[in-house]
């Protein structure tokens, strides 16, 4: 039995629709996506864009995708601050460059979440 690409795409659409509409499935998907997103962002900055796209894919609307990506950016900033430990205050004192850090932590996931507008 050969499975066509259309059948596989239909299966993915059914799963995404379930994740977007059922609260329990959505909650589990959010936890999985945030975990994967944090791991990707730890490896490379492009992981922030990919994490935003994943958040966008599981979101029911474009506005919720953008809000979820914004929330993910805040989680990334919190994880970054926790990872800095005692030197967090010294990093905040580097005012011009810290703006790039904050803007990329929030802006890149939001940019990735715009994929929801295409689907």
Tokens of 78: 């919190």
Range 90-108 average pLDDT = 87
> What percentage of the chain reaches a pLDDT higher than 90?
66
Domain boundaries along the sequence of the chain: 30-118
Higher-confidence residue: 90 or 112? 112
Residue 29 near residue 20, CB atoms below 8 Å: no
With cut-offs at 50, 70 and 90, classify the pLDDT of residue 89.
Answer: confident
Q: What is the pTM of this model?
A: 0.86
- How far apart (Å, rounded) are the C-alpha atoms in residues 25 and 34? 14
20 CB neighbour count, 10 Å cutoff: 17
């Amino acid at each position: 039995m050969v499975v066509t690409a259309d059948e596989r795409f239909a299966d993915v659409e059914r799963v995404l629709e379930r994740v977007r509409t059922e609260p329990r499935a959505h909650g589990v998907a959010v936890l999985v996506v945030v975990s994967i997103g944090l791991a990707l962002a730890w490896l490379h900055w492009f992981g922030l864009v990919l994490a935003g796209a994943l958040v966008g894919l599981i979101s029911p609307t474009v506005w919720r995708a953008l809000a979820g990506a914004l929330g993910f950016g805040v989680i990334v900033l919190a994880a970054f601050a926790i990872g800095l430990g005692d030197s967090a205050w010294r990093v905040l004192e580097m005012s011009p460059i810290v703006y790039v850090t904050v803007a990329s932590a929030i802006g890149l996931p939001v940019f990735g979440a715009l994929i929801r507008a295409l689907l």
